[in-house]
Structure 1
């Protein structure tokens, strides 16, 4: 049994619960920032106790209740409201790991929807490798005989297959070349040891050219207003203008015409 934290009641599991049989139950709002997530011994969304303990540990560092709250005796944990959707991604990964020893994850979606941030958060839960689509830009190349090549013509999918996907399939180290995004030149190759969980994040990571390589596909959304605001805050007006006239329209055509969102296993919406 995992005992409750006497200081702040972040995590409590009743006697009789198997730590290998935890499922996400009802989610109730506590306040504007927090929710309480009930744990059950059966259901649709299994999650490992190890993941919950890590989640609670991370939250414990970020938030301290001002006073101890008396809840009904139940099995539960407390988390931030804006992380609830991501909880189901953790559940999906845990479920896949229970069945298979290797899990490949794609995180696609709108520019500034939080893809890179989320991939970094996942590194706190799993011993995984994260690869970024930004390292695979190229001068646009289109094959007139292949209609799909018009979408993401600025991405070098052959390099992605050679440097990332093939080594993962063979359970071998990856030899990758990151890109200097200022000069658009490739840096010296570096060796990435093989790990059984691999995440490729960035726009076009669910492109038909590589879609079949992933066990879990996550699509992240953000409203147009929030997208513009975040790009401006992060990159300034000059870069925002480039996004507005070039990158965002290109991505939106890809999402719409190839029906990318509908092919995702989980859809997350950026709430702030």
Structure 2
């Protein structure tokens, strides 16, 4: 990730902290655009907590045709709201069980201690039902060929096919229908190695 982007976001976070606490930051965007990397850079710069939207993908019993046909419907946004955003907005400790896509099960609970800043990173973080809880919304994009190269490197060639045929189209439909990039305060395009 471009360190300049992290530093620009950190500057905006510092401005927000002068007016309010806690500050909740969303990082949404295309898969393999560097959302997790950026969140980790912000953790190092600001000491913020980080919650990953990947922990909230739908469990098998939730994956109805109706739900999956709804833009942004393949994430358990109701659980994100109840278990993460509402407690953080009240400066309460967060406890949730991450969903493990490989195991198709919920794992042991993790705790997030409320601090001055928490970042919620991942695709679908800026879903319309969640966005009012954020003080700063960031959108990351990446050129399609670079995106697929990163996915192949990160997940392997077989997974890259599934991303290209299933997950990327679902994300793109969500971005278009929910006007995600337009609702964000800051937008960055990532380039090169991730």
**TM-score exceeds 0.5:** yes
Secondary structure of residue in 2 paired with 1:123: helix
CA contact (8 A) 1:141 1:154 kept: no
Is 1:140–2:73 an aligned residue pair?
no
Match of 2:132 in 1: 212
**What is the distance in 2 between the residues matched to 1:243 and 1:143?**
21
8 A Cα contact 1:107 1:218, kept in partner: yes
Q: TM-score, structure 2 length as denominator?
A: 0.91
- The total of aligned residue pairs comes to 189
1:87-236 aligned within 5 A: 87-138=7-58, 139-141=62-64, 150-236=70-156
Structure 1 position 100, deviation (Å): 1.2
In structure 2, list runs of 5 or more residues that go unmatched.
Answer: none
Rounded to whole Å, the distance in 1 between the matches of 2:184 and 2:39 is 16
Query: TM-score, normalised on structure 1?
Result: 0.66
Structure 1 unaligned residues grouped into runs of 5+: 1-80
Structure 1: 4+ residue segments shifted above 3 A = 141-144
Q: Answer 1 or 2: which has greater helix percent.
A: 2
Deviation at 1:192, TM superposition (A): 2.3
Of structures 1 and 2, the one with the larger relative CO (CA 8 A, separation 6+) is 2
Tell me if structure 2 keeps the 8 A contact 1:176–1:191: yes
Larger Rg: 1
